[in-house]
Amino acid sequence: MSEADSPTADFLSEAISTSGRTQREIAHRSGFTRANVISMMKHGEMKVPIERIPDLADACGVDPKEFARVAIAEYHPEIMNILRHIFGVDLGNDNKSLERSR
């Protein structure tokens, strides 16, 4: 998998770029011991762990709901479809722009 075919990696890469923080700072703020893990995720070499999205979103200053929506749609499209069906709402689209949460 490469960044070119991973909406989640693209989202994370843009979030890092606009955060004003280094990957090392983001890793530290989101509980990762090594900055190379952040690099692997932003290049699509490693999936972003869903359970770490709130911390990563906070470290990058982006909307955790949008980050989670992008990741769930990519990694678990069947779950996204069930959520859309059960809750009867459009949970957004993959082209939605990054929203700053601060």
Domain limits for position 39: 3-87
Residue 67 lies in a domain: yes
Residue 50 lies in a domain: yes
Residue 94 lies in a domain: no
CA-to-CA distance for 67 and 55, rounded, in angstroms? 11
What's the CATH code of the domain at 22? 1.10.260.40
The residue-averaged pLDDT of 50-63 equals 98
Tokens 């900055």 correspond to what residue?
35
pLDDT at 100: 40
22, 28, 32, 39 from 35: Cα distances, Å: 9, 8, 7, 7
Residue 96 reports pLDDT greater than 60: no
pLDDT at 43: 97
Residue 7 lies in a domain: yes
Residue 65 lies in a domain: yes
Give the chain's mean pLDDT: 88
Q: For 6-44, write each residue's pLDDT tens digit.
A: 999 999 999 999 999 999 999 999 999 999 999 999 999
Residue 43 lies in a domain: yes
The count of domains in the chain is 1
CA nearest to 45, candidates 93, 5, 95, 72: 5
pLDDT at 4: 58
Residue 9 lies in a domain: yes
Residue 45 lies in a domain: yes
Is residue 31 a contact partner of residue 57, using CB atoms and an 8 Å limit? no
Task: Give 91's pLDDT tier (boundaries 50, 70, 90).
Answer: low
